[in-house]
Structure 1
Amino acid sequence: MNPCHCQERHQRQRIVVTGGPGAGKTAVLELVRQAFCAHVMVLPEAASILFGGGFPRAPGEGARRAAQRAIFQVQRELEALAMTEGNPAVVLCDRGTVDGVAYWPGPGDFWAELGTTAAQELARYSLVIHLRTPEATNGYNHQNPLRLESPQEAAAIDARIAAAWERHPRRVVIESSVDFLTKAHRALVAVRAEVPECCRKHLPPLP
């Protein structure tokens, strides 16, 4: 994070960076950490916290439903903490509560299980940045040890994520590019546009 000379108290807003497996979220969020000031808070991914910490990742429907309920609750708590701690202007979420719909195996309705509605969850976020998953021949990353999906499965998940967020009024969809830095730059431009002027004027040029 770059130092910021802004002393303003900020009106916090939540922004989601989402996308299917291999879309480049991790790399983009690391670039955000390097390019923006401390008033842009980047949250960790709830699923990585859970699965990296040993939460069972079994293939059965019951286990998958349990995992999505747990991810939803961890995401909610991460966001709640970010909305009360420090002085961020932007809280950048590595996926949001709506993403769980794309992973929900059924039976039963995801929203009913969690005691909320799609409209309520969409309204939590001021902007959605969707990084599209690349095709198998165009940069899909097989190296993440927590990633179990094939390129075809990743593309299907990405399509379900797009459908889950399609009713959000402010969506930026960034297609995959042969040059990942071009894709990442477009995401950084979208984030920078949401940073208040009191912080933005102190930021260095984007990479």
Structure 2
Amino acid sequence: MRNKLKVVVTGGPGGGKTTALDLFRRELGDQIAVVPEAATVLFSGGVTRSDDIAVIKTIQKTIFQLQKNLEDINKAHFPDRLLVCDRGSLDGLAYWPGTESDFFNEVNSTFEEEIARYDAVIFFESAGAKGRDISSNNPVRNESSEQAAQLDIALQKIWSQHPNFYFVGSSESFVRKIMFGIMTIENVINQYQRE
């Protein structure tokens, strides 16, 4: 099947993406390759956040390129597996401290090129979008619930333009949401395997 499918799992902070992907990876084992979140790789490697616009732009350009490189590494390393990405190259647009055209000029790409990298998008709505707590075990996350809600809106606006966009809404029950999210990922993968 040689990398027949590349799915991005995205959404605002505290949406359950990483939890769902971890459980899904355990379920499917060597049928999929999960591409790690570039921002977490970068920030857990010692890069510190900043309020300086020039630094933020440099960090976002680095995350953008790292995301694409991580996808390419996994594609080459696991040519027969389905690629499931913890966030995608367009996520940086929601964090960019400038205009959309400035972002694409700085990363030397276009919206169309980036959205076409993925066969489907599964969007996990942040708990912050419903005013709930987004606490997690991710030590590099620093957003408040309010910031998570704002990022969720921006990310949804970006990714909902993909022709194969699937929405996993926030729920009173995190467990039910994760189960629904895992079923959505599984349904998307099964759909593409039949094509």
Name the TM-score, length of structure 1 as normaliser. 0.85
| Distance verdict in 2 for CA 1:137–1:161, change over 3 Å | closer
**1:87-116, Cα deviation, whole Å (9 max, x unpaired):** 443101010001110000016611111111
Structure 2 CA distance for aligned equivalents of residues 86 and 112 of structure 1? 31
Contact 1:89 1:195 in 2 (8 A): no
Structure 1 CA distance for aligned equivalents of residues 133 and 178 of structure 2? 13
Structure 1 CA distance for aligned equivalents of residues 190 and 134 of structure 2? 34
Cα RMSD, aligned residues only: 2.0
| 174, 184, 188: which one aligns with 2:168 | 174
| Distance verdict in 2 for CA 1:39–1:164, change over 3 Å | same
Contact 1:18 1:96 in 2 (8 A): yes
Could you say which structure has the higher helix fraction? 2
Instruction: For 1:106-145, list aligned pairs within 5 A.
Output: 106=98, 109-135=102-128, 137-141=131-135, 143-145=137-139
Structure 1 CA distance for aligned equivalents of residues 78 and 131 of structure 2? 43
Can you give the 5+ residue segments of structure 2 that lack an aligned partner in the other structure? none
Can you give the 5+ residue segments of structure 1 that lack an aligned partner in the other structure? 1-8, 201-207
Give the aligned partner of residue 42 of structure 2. Answer: 50
| 90, 94, 109: which one aligns with 2:86 | 94
Shift of 1:196: 5.1
Give the aligned partner of residue 187 of structure 2. Answer: 193
**1:117-138, Cα deviation, whole Å (9 max, x unpaired):** 0011000101100000113753
Give 3-state SS (helix, strand or coil) of 1:57's partner: coil
| 13, 20, 30: which one aligns with 2:12 | 20
**Number of matched residues?**
191
The reply on whether 1:29 has 2:21 as its aligned counterpart is yes
Contact 1:131 1:174 in 2 (8 A): yes
The reply on whether 1:184 has 2:178 as its aligned counterpart is yes
Structure 1 or 2, whichever has the larger Rg, is 1
Contact 2:171 2:177 in 1 (8 A): yes
Amino acid aligned to 1:116: S
Contact 1:39 1:87 in 2 (8 A): no
Give the aligned partner of residue 158 of structure 2. Answer: 164
Larger CA deviation: 187-196 vs 112-121:
187-196
